[in-house]
Amino acid sequence: MKNIEKEQRDRQERIHELQKCIRNKEESVQKRIERQRRNQEIAEAAANENKDLTELKMRDSLQIQKLWNAFMRKKMDNEMRNSQSIDEAFKAIKTATGVTDVQEMVKKFLQRE
């Protein structure tokens, strides 16, 4: 009788140990799933942050390009204004002398001296 009770007790303990082992495995699986979910969230957040940084860099680059474009347009307008008086003088000389080549004009001017 004691032998049977001892066997039953051993079986119960073994069943209890197995149930405990099963619970531990289930908890481990749940923790792994949760860890994978958190890693995925972190990866998505990092990707979004990287995307946001790229977008900010592109916006900054666009603003710099706009500023550079405005600067170059203004510089070009000034150069055009400055060269307009030279062009008008060249046209006046051309109509007065009939010479159309700049080098020929310079040559004649230098020969006069």
Q: What pLDDT is stored for residue 113 in this prediction?
A: 61
The pLDDT tens digits for 29-63 are 999 999 999 999 988 888 888 888 888 899 999 99
Question: Sign of torsion, CA 84 86 87 88?
Answer: positive
pTM above 0.85, yes or no: no
Distance, CA of 44 to CA of 91 (rounded, Å): 67
Distance, CA of 58 to CA of 23 (rounded, Å): 52
Distance, CA of 94 to CA of 40 (rounded, Å): 77
Structural domains counted in the chain: 1
**Which residues form the domain of 26?**
2-112
Distance, CA of 92 to CA of 99 (rounded, Å): 11
Q: Stretch 71-97: mean pLDDT, rounded?
A: 88
